[in-house]
Structure 1
Amino acid sequence: MTDPRDTSATGFRTRFLPAAAAWAVLVAAVLVAVPLVLAGRLPDPLATHWGPSGRPDGSMSFAAFALFPVVLWVAVAGIGIGVAARARTLVRRAPRAFYCAGLAWAGGLLITTQAFTVAANLDRGDWTRAAGMTWQVAVVVVAPIALGALGWLAGRRGPDASPAPPPAEPVIDLSPGKRPVWVSTATAPWASWLTLVALAAAVVIAAAARSGLIRDGWGAVVPLALTGVVGAVLSSVSVRVVPESLTVSVGPLRWPLRRVRLDRVERAWVEERYPAQVGGWGYRGLPGRATIMIRGGECLVVRYTSGGELGITVDDAAAGAALLNALIARQHPSVER
């Protein structure tokens, strides 16, 4: 048994993760049970989209309607709980509150959307006769936000460990007359797979819609293509340090890129950061304190002379930080570091 008074990272995680898993199971059970119990009273296909007039203008097969929300929720909750199980940030109040709010909002959105869709189609002989959607749209928007707010409050309960101070920055000795260069990358296999699956699905659906095999299939092509582009951007990050600048680029094409002159960098160090800590994957935060999060773990963190910080998840970050600090020291030899 776990002592409920245990406020250590391990003890709190042991209590927190079962609660998050219970919410995930509850939402999944509702998403599975409701369509199955009411299957005999629902048309096939069902109305799943309503136009500006409030009347149904799009449909989906019963099998797809029953399966899609469950698969989406399993993916969202599984990734979220998996990240939380590995991360050390559950003992930090801010990232924990963000995590709980996101999980509560996503579950609430799926349940309310399913509930109103089922209610509109219930006992209707054909999807074109489904009830209209007017005030229900506001509930679908507001209810998940309210659940997210409750999740935020729930996440703020518990310990709030103080962040560790930045470690002493590593420094290396530079040989006179040589031009040092450091290049490193980090990759995210899940993002590469997301890119391949999304783009392949977009091509298949576009071909099927063009040939007439799928009606209204073009509506899914653009979101899938955009998902593929986002996945490609998140698939890798590359960092290059030379005596003049620090360059950060993302994606297989190494674009977009950001170049920072070395005279704008005050110092560099290595720090462990995780998606739950910074708010997810991708470019997280605001200019002045941001993280390019490709995968959790070791980050190269640079502090600008203006006071801002940029963290980049990259391999062999210690060598990059050491070279940056050595180059800065060589530019300003009289400054004590």
Structure 2
Amino acid sequence: MTDPQDTSVTGFRIRFLLAAAAWAVLVAAVLVAVPLAFAGRLPDPLATHWGPSGRPDGSMAFAAFVLFTVALWAVVAGIGAGVAARGRTPVRRASRAWFCAGLAWAGAFTVVTQAFTIAANLDRGHWTRAAGLSWQVAVVVAAPIALGALGWLAGRRGPDVPSGPPQRGPLIDLDPGKRPVWVSTATAPWATRLALVALATAVALAGAALSGLFGGGWGAVVPLALVGVVGLAVSSVSVRVVPEALTVSVGPLRWPSRRVRLDHVEQAWVEERYPAQVGGWGYRGLPGRATIMIRGGECLVVRYTSGGRLAITVDDAETGAALLNALIARQQPSVER
């Protein structure tokens, strides 16, 4: 017999995905229709960047401007659709609310920015004569935040499938004469490539600045180097379980690492988590309830005896959780004595 609640949740998930798709199509349609409607009254190229003084200091061809805004929104909406379709975001209230807030904010920001750009260029003849920006900046900031807040409230409506730990599954049978060890990793190739490109660019700019070929390169060296270091730090994670402890290490050098004694772990289980649920990639959250997000999907979740939790995106998390639970169960008799 089919569970009516499962049917209801499935129906809500479909409706949610259709609503998100409709929003994505609506924003894309506005981004195309509005500039085309005013194309005859806009200069080509048109002003697309304003300096600190509020006057235009950069331009872009009309076709390139339209294509850029639509492509940017397509990337954002596509990533959002992928996260919502693969994960449990639609049926968990907290993650659904933040997903809706982010998608609403991104759509509003893109539309409002395009609208003010068109308004500033309207009937100006040449992009250098575009209107300056002053109070409009406050609207560009405030309007998307307001719509994001409405998206958050809308996302709070609907079912909330609990994400707590499932019932304890079967444990691994441990051989008393052997020492069990489990090691697994998860990698994000995109983060490694981004880090290497950023570091290589930083080194090249530093060399050019030192040789006098590019005197303004020093301003970009430190940010690019930081991007490279952070990218390497979030490019991989390794988890090791032995009878004494659980060790979590990040980055290609397996440093920094964190070691948790096994008598401080109460239980382990597996959950699916995605960047949209936890606020992005890397170390997300606060100590006591954090996620090390390298890639979306299967996570090993451990609950400490203190009540805190740590989730790590790692391959073969089910085996790691089963071994942890078996080791914890084996220690319990000695702890009770």
Partners of 1:35 and 1:192 in 2: CA distance: 38
Partners of 1:220 and 1:77 in 2: CA distance: 30
**What is aligned with 2:161?**
161
Q: How many residues align?
A: 325
Distance apart, 1:126 and its partner CA: 4.1
Residues 234/37 of structure 1: CA separation in 2 closer, same or farther (3 Å cut) = farther
Q: Deviations over 1:213-237 (max 9, x none)?
A: xxx9999998777666655444432
Q: Deviations over 1:235-259 (max 9, x none)?
A: 4321122334322223334344333
Partners of 1:45 and 1:200 in 2: CA distance: 35
173-182 or 27-36: which moved more?
173-182
Residues 183/82 of structure 1: CA separation in 2 closer, same or farther (3 Å cut) = same
Q: Where do 5+ consecutive residues of structure 1 fail to align? A: 211-215
Partners of 1:330 and 1:162 in 2: CA distance: 29
115-124 or 150-159: which moved more?
115-124
Q: Deviations over 1:135-192 (max 9, x none)?
A: 1111111100111011112112222233454330553344446443221012345545
**What is aligned with 2:241?**
241
Partners of 1:28 and 1:125 in 2: CA distance: 27
Distance apart, 1:111 and its partner CA: 1.0
Q: Deviations over 1:29-87 (max 9, x none)?
A: 22223334434413425241331x3233x414225433322222111111111221122
Partners of 1:202 and 1:35 in 2: CA distance: 36
**What is aligned with 1:107?**
107
**What is aligned with 1:34?**
34
CA RMSD of aligned residues (A): 3.6
* Contact preservation (8 Å) 2:171, 2:325: yes
Residues 16/120 of structure 1: CA separation in 2 closer, same or farther (3 Å cut) = same
Q: Percent identity?
A: 76
Partners of 2:321 and 2:267 in 1: CA distance: 8
**What is aligned with 1:213?**
none
* Contact preservation (8 Å) 1:303, 1:309: yes
Q: Normalization by structure 1: what TM-score? A: 0.80
Partners of 2:200 and 2:15 in 1: CA distance: 39
Partners of 2:66 and 2:205 in 1: CA distance: 23
Amino acid at match of 2:45: D
Residues 290/6 of structure 1: CA separation in 2 closer, same or farther (3 Å cut) = closer
**What is aligned with 1:281?**
281
Q: Output aligned runs, 1:309-320, within 5 Å.
A: 309-320=309-320
Partners of 1:10 and 1:169 in 2: CA distance: 25
Residues 124/257 of structure 1: CA separation in 2 closer, same or farther (3 Å cut) = farther
* Contact preservation (8 Å) 1:170, 1:318: no
Partners of 1:34 and 1:218 in 2: CA distance: 41
Secondary structure at 2:327's aligned position in 1?
helix
Partners of 1:170 and 1:276 in 2: CA distance: 31
Residues 49/99 of structure 1: CA separation in 2 closer, same or farther (3 Å cut) = same
Q: Normalization by structure 2: what TM-score? A: 0.80
146-155 or 64-73: which moved more?
64-73
Q: Where do 5+ consecutive residues of structure 2 fail to align? A: 210-215
1:297 has 2:297 as partner: yes
Amino acid at match of 1:139: V
